[in-house]
Amino acid sequence: MEDFLKFDGVTKQFGHLKAVDDVTLPINRGEIFSILGPSGCGKTTLLRMLAGFEAPDTGRILLAGEDITDQAPNVRKINTVFQTYALFPHMTVRENIAFGLKLRKLPKATIDQEVDKMLAMIQMEAHADKKPAQLSGGQKQRTAIARALVLKPSVLLLDEPLAALDLKLRQRMSLELSLIHDEVGITFVYVTHDQNEAMSISDHIAVMQNGKIEQVGTPAEIYEAPKSSFVAAFIGDTNFFDGTITRVLDSEYCEVEVPDLSKKLICFNDKKLVQGDSVHLSIRPEKFSISLDRPAENPRQNVLPAKVEDIVYQGDHTRYWVSIAEDWRVAVTRQHNRFLLDQRRITWGDQVFISWQADDSFMLEQYREKDEDLLQMPPQNVGEEVPGAAVTAPEPSDTSVAPADGQATGQEEASQQ
């Protein structure tokens, strides 16, 4: 697909700080493209350069093959929706949406028609005559989106547009945004630090850190095949294992020795490493199965004995921290597809087995020890009872083990113009 929008070697420096550092980023026509990263990584600066509010120090920005780097914001066919909504408080919803069209001096009948279309799309017809102060957060955000879209931009920039909303409303609005996107079909560039939001609405995600792009991919690529320890730890949660390849088994699998573990691990050798190479693995918590009984032998499966150190019940799943060696805890999640049916639930202090498929140990291209700080830590309240997890049932012969299918699948300014 053509690069509809492109950052080409873009750098922006504030004093000594490189807020955006040599970024080259192609974005397809009509997609929702998210820029995701921790606070201060340079997301907003990138977006502001796209909107024309900041000028790059070096590099170019191209839109549909045209170099727009030096174009004024009001000339670019790009509009922005800000987190703060930036609605005019003295105007009604209808007047807010109509504002940009009036500036363009379009005939009143055309303006009315376009605004009516937008009001229908955002399902705000009943609120058209209200002022922003009379609206909920979601209604204000919908109005801000309609005000930007009514101008028919080629690209809509959304800068943390849902950050001010509560969790449920954020989830609903992100779905609505996807529906609006399907209806208007233009390119959305979405900036967020919320990985769930980015995963649920994006066609592609660029993960940023320290002004640089760490990885670009579909949500599944970013989650399932992270290139760096930063991406693995920032998107979702994971466990890191460091080792050395001791044997290449065949064209697909290899054996890895990990210090402190009693057994060598079988891993999918997607990086085609050879004997003696060191390797950093990322294994997501939901890739593990946890069971009281040792799972049946399987040459492509790893099994390690472990001890349950901590448990957090989270409704749809439970998070376990289990020790697999001295001072080494790994995080394991188990979906509750049969929680109430379990005869013997796993509890604190249990000796268990964790097992995972060789293909689920993902080899990282880049590892930095400090990324371990991004991992979820076990809580301090070791020893508290998990709701409903009292071990009251006798030890039955059909002692419950982790179900084979019990794994999660991984899962300021007003608009210009």
* Minimum CB distance to ligand ATP smaller for 40 or for 137: 40
Interacting residues with ligand ATP (CB under 6 A): 14, 17, 19, 37, 39-45, 193
**Tokens (6 digits) for 111:** 């303006």
- Give the residue nearest to ligand ATP (CB): 44
- Least Å from the CB of residue 141 to ligand ATP: 17
Kindly report each contact of residues 413-416 with a partner whose C-beta sits within 8 Å and lies 24 or more positions away, as own/partner.
413/53, 413/80, 413/82, 413/86, 414/86, 414/88, 414/99, 414/147, 415/79, 415/80, 415/81, 415/86, 415/100, 415/147, 415/148, 415/151, 416/51, 416/52, 416/73, 416/74, 416/76, 416/78, 416/79, 416/80
CB 291 within 8 A of CB 402: yes
CA dist., res. 54 & res. 86, Å (int): 19
Q: Which of 95, 126, 124 is nearest to 112 (CA)?
A: 95
* Minimum CB distance to ligand ATP smaller for 214 or for 255: 214
- Least Å from the CB of residue 273 to ligand ATP: 34
Note the residue count of the chain.
Answer: 417
CA distances from 129 to 84, 89, 97, 99, 222 (A): 21, 12, 11, 14, 44
* Minimum CB distance to ligand ATP smaller for 47 or for 145: 47
**Tokens (6 digits) for 49:** 């350069």
* Minimum CB distance to ligand ATP smaller for 18 or for 264: 18
The DSSP output letter for 91 is S
- Least Å from the CB of residue 14 to ligand ATP: 3
* Minimum CB distance to ligand ATP smaller for 30 or for 73: 73
* Minimum CB distance to ligand ATP smaller for 83 or for 361: 83
- Least Å from the CB of residue 384 to ligand ATP: 34
- Least Å from the CB of residue 174 to ligand ATP: 17
- Least Å from the CB of residue 44 to ligand ATP: 3
CB 23 within 8 A of CB 35: no
Q: Which of 10, 87, 8 is nearest to 45 (CA)?
A: 10
- Least Å from the CB of residue 49 to ligand ATP: 10
* Minimum CB distance to ligand ATP smaller for 16 or for 370: 16
CA dist., res. 190 & res. 160, Å (int): 7
- Least Å from the CB of residue 66 to ligand ATP: 25
